[in-house]
Amino acid sequence: MITPEQERAFYDRQYAQFLAMPDHALRMDRVVLLGNMANPAHPFFERRRLYRMAMAELEVEPLAGKRVLDYGCGPADFGLWMATESAEVTLLDLSPLAIELGLRRAQASGVARRVKGVAADAARLDMFADGAFDLVFACASLHHTMKYPGALEELARIMRPGARLVLCETWGGNPLLNAARRWRARLQGEEEEQGEEIILAGAEVELLRGHFSQVRVQQLSLLAMGKRLLRGRFQSGWARAAVGALEAVDRATLAVCPPLRRWCGEAVITARR
């Protein structure tokens, strides 16, 4: 199994490149975040529907004044957006460089006073009191941390009773799609730390139910998972048209046959502590 040290080193290498960027390129708010999702040249374009669904869930209750944990924050796009909506945000990541980047982006975004950063192993969160947070958001990160003993228990401990959990994840309910993911990862030489072998599915949701109530899974992207084959080509009109057509077929198909959602490849998962 990958150790926390190996995972930390991998992500430190990923985030180091962003620290050389000028402040204006690091700024984040709602306009920038939505603009990135709409920009075919930006990595967020591929998962724009998933990210918009996650934003809608995060805004089910007003963000102003909420104590928010951006769990496994990475570049902290969503945590910083919530800070610009007047939330009090703590960034948590295994990578110290991710936290350094997040705090620098908070300064560039004018929300430094509402953002804190902690570099730590998610399985040991002694720096946080019981019930410290009203809302926890994790974007493509819980599937990494659940493999470490005690991580889920610690996550539940630091959330107050009634706090909301919002997860934005790859969904692993389709064995054929999972095999294709592994094949693509090997073909493209992806490092093991990128986590293609660790995907949330029904078993992980049952583990969540041991600590949370009102667990809800909203799956999307059935045929539209074909977009992975077009990665890097979305600036071409034909590629965007192809993805749009697949998404349209998905909407019609899933409306007629909802049980097919379990075969989708992405999900937003919500729960209450």
Structure confidence by residue, pLDDT tens digits, 141-162: 887 788 788 889 999 999 999 9
What local confidence, expressed as pLDDT, does residue 196 receive? 47
Average of per-residue pLDDT across 116-133:
94
- Contact between 177 and 147 under an 8 Å Cβ cutoff? The reply is no
CATH code, domain with 60: 3.40.50.150
The proportion of the chain whose per-residue pLDDT surpasses 90, expressed as a percent, equals 73
Closest-CA residue to 120 (of 91, 147, 141): 91
The answer on pLDDT for 124 being more than 80 is yes
Q: pLDDT, tens digit, for every residue of 32-55?
A: 999 999 999 999 999 999 999 999
* Token code pair at residue 51: 């990210």
* Token code pair at residue 76: 């902290």
Into how many domains does the chain fold?
Answer: 1
Write out the residue range of the structural domain in which residue 226 sits. 4-272
At residue 172 the predicted structure's pLDDT band, cuts being 50, 70 and 90, is: confident
Report the helix count and the strand count for the chain, using DSSP H and E. 11, 7
